[in-house]
Chain A
Amino acid sequence: MTTTVAGRAHTARERVDTARSSPRKRSWAPYLFISPFYLLYVLFMLIPVAVSLWLSLTEWVGLGTPHWVGLRNYRNLATDISFHRALGNTGVFVLISVCVVVPLALLIAQALNTRGLRVRDLWRTAYFVPVVVSPIIVALVFGLIFDRQFGLLNSVLRALFGTGGVDWLGDPGMAKISIGLVMLWRWTGYLTVFFLAGLQAVPKELYEAAAIDGAGRLRTFATVTLPALKPVTAFVVVTSFIGAAQIFEEPYLLTGGGPAESTLSVTMFIYRAAFQRQQFGYAAAAAVVLFVVVFGLSTLFNRLLGIGRATS
């Protein structure tokens, strides 16, 4: 008798406890799960961005106390030809990435999506390999390939066409193209993976319906494939934009930003100002400009294209 009562009382209390504690536990749980990220986010992202904003209003050589100068760094940037060049060059790299690399990746994905293609996985893997390779190795190897006198590229051109004196890295126009070629080599396979996954997720029925309607290849591509690829394309365009906007290794290692600053990127400009010229405040101001442009544009793209909402 007593045991039963005690037992019943026990379960009753337990029930009350769970009823009381469980919703509370549930309501705290998600915050506990996401808190490690936000802790790190505040420490290593939010605070640095704030410090960057503050530093950009100071003059500081990296020693002693930063000296408040208000908006002077920004005024200097507005008239700094090197910074204008860096912005322009970075713009060119972004255009190469979005207008050349992305369409090429789509074409390759389209080819890899051909019905009955053998060893699809082998092609996809081989094209992806450059992404796995460290940028320093990419730059070192391409540095040798682009060498004017001894480089592989010129000796292949000489063997094929008899002329091969192209100054790949020494001529301002060619240097930009060479950097673009390296970007193409490095990132095409990576983006192909996204397009291929998108293409394989297109319902077969849509293609069959288009075939029944007598749509040709181009019409099928325009009315079935492209609309179905919209989310992937949006993602790929925004990621390539953000990636190309902060390009550093290729110009730093291949050309050092030259010749005549023709390949100087904004990230290189920031690096040079802070760590080679000890102009920390000036570097921070350039970083804030980069932040405003990249963050503003990609947020705008994301809004327009509907990426990154907490959907489930």
Chain B
Amino acid sequence: MNTPTRTGRILLYPTLVLLLLAFLAPLLWALSGSFKPRGDIFAHPPELIPDPFTLHNYRALIDDQPFVRWFVISTVVAVIATAVSVFVCALAGYGFAKFRFAGRRPLFAVMFSSLSIPFAVILVPLFVILVKTGLGSPWFALIVPWVAPAFGIFMMQQYIVQSVPDSVLEAARIDGASEFGIFRRVVLPLLRPALGALAVWTFLQSYNSFLWPLVLVSDSSQYTLPLGLQTLFVSEQRQYDLVLAGAVLAVLPAVALFVLLRKQLLEGLSTGAVKG
């Protein structure tokens, strides 16, 4: 902990408030703009409180655009990706944290090094394999990039090492539980905070992803939310009013999820990094 000097103490709160404004202003501006008629969005000077206040943008977005469908597709894909990913990561994290086996170190190193493979490297081949060969339906292909993140395994492994004592596992073994039974009934419940953090993180990654859906989905009836919003922006008459309303609606589930589980997420994310 820092003990601040007097000038430090005086400057601290104004600095933090200024930063807060810088971080939140773009979003507040978008929120306010979403309730303005198109002509008022760029008014000089910018007004924070919409006057006149209108819900027209939201109505137009939902009535005239397939916004609800974009939203459903993105959400369903994100939920499936999250469920698969969290399960795979918990399994592997536990394997690495609580067992000593031949090849553990090199296998761990291989897993960890996949963090350093940029997605752009597998973008073209993944597209070729899944789309050109006709193997993957978009539903399947959309979840593929998220199902086995090394980051999640690393996070789980660190968390299990720190918070699942060996004695509990030994006790369950003496009681005759199977290895998978121990994982399901003893380990998983202990992992709840870390699972929550990883789930939120994976959900956000998938829900917000842009590059892979952009490459993958050509049929506009299968657009995800980010692709759909982009069409409003690049269309002939840039529909700023609808874009802002869509941005607000799209960000709501993400922010709600984050606010609900922020403690877990913020602490879970840094679990691995602190010890290195």
Q: Is the CB of B124 within 8 A of A152?
A: no
Q: Is the CB of B211 within 8 A of A249?
A: yes
Does B44 make an interface contact (CB < 8 A)? Answer: yes
Q: Is the CB of A235 within 8 A of B273?
A: yes
Give Cα distance in the complex from A108 to B15, angstroms: 10
State which residues 19-65 of A face B: CB under 8 Å.
25-27, 29-34, 36-38, 40-41, 44-45, 47-49, 51-52, 55, 62
Does A168 make an interface contact (CB < 8 A)? Answer: no
Give Cα distance in the complex from A193 to B272, angstroms: 12
Known: A108-B19, A204-B1, A306-B276. A280 touches B128 (CB 8 A): yes
Give Cα distance in the complex from A250 to B211, angstroms: 11
User: Could you say which residues of chain A place their CB within 8 Å of the CB of B44?
Assistant: 155, 158
Give Cα distance in the complex from A249 to B111, angstroms: 26
Q: Is the CB of B274 within 8 A of A310?
A: no
Q: Which listed residue (A110, A140, A189) contacts B247, Cβ 8 A?
A: A140
Does A82 make an interface contact (CB < 8 A)? Answer: no
State which residues 192-249 of A face B: CB under 8 Å.
193-194, 196-198, 201, 204, 207, 217, 230-232, 234-236, 242, 245-246, 248-249
Which residue of chain B is the closest to A155 with respect to CB atoms? B44
User: Could you say which residues of chain B place their CB within 8 Å of the CB of A93?
Assistant: none
Q: Is the CB of B123 within 8 A of A271?
A: yes
**Min CB–CB distance A143 → chain B (angstroms):** 7
Q: Contact mask A243-280 → B, CB, 8 Å, 1/0?
A: 00110110001000000000000110011001100001
Q: Is the CB of A115 within 8 A of B4?
A: yes
Which residue of chain B is the closest to A256 with respect to CB atoms? B234
Give Cα distance in the complex from A44 to B250, angstroms: 29
Q: Is the CB of A41 within 8 A of B126?
A: no
* CB within 8 Å: A-B pair count: 313
Give Cα distance in the complex from A62 to B254, angstroms: 36
Does B91 make an interface contact (CB < 8 A)? Answer: yes
Q: Is the CB of B41 within 8 A of A144?
A: yes
Q: Is the CB of B270 within 8 A of A36?
A: no
Q: Which listed residue (A30, A137, A275) contacts B99, Cβ 8 A?
A: A30
Q: Which listed residue (B144, B229, B267) contacts A137, Cβ 8 A?
A: B229
Q: Contact mask A118-144 → B, CB, 8 Å, 1/0?
A: 000101111111111111111011111
Which residue of chain A is the closest to B248 with respect to CB atoms? A137
Q: Contact mask B94-127 → A, CB, 8 Å, 1/0?
A: 1111010100110111111111111111111111
User: Could you say which residues of chain A place their CB within 8 Å of the CB of B233?
Assistant: 140, 143, 253
State which residues 244-276 of B face A: CB under 8 Å.
244, 247, 250-251, 254-255, 258-259, 262-263, 266-267, 269-270, 272-276
Q: Is the CB of B111 within 8 A of A307?
A: no
Q: Is the CB of B118 within 8 A of A294?
A: yes
Q: Is the CB of A130 within 8 A of B23?
A: yes
Instruction: Give me the interface of A with B, judged by CB distance under 8 Å.
Output: 25-27, 29-34, 36-38, 40-41, 44-45, 47-49, 51-52, 55, 62, 108, 110-115, 117, 121, 123-138, 140-145, 147, 150-152, 155-156, 158-159, 185, 188-189, 193-194, 196-198, 201, 204, 207, 217, 230-232, 234-236, 242, 245-246, 248-249, 253, 266-267, 270-271, 274-275, 280, 283-284, 287-288, 290-291, 294-295, 298-299, 302, 305-312
3 closest A-B pairs by CB: A231-B276, A33-B95, A197-B270
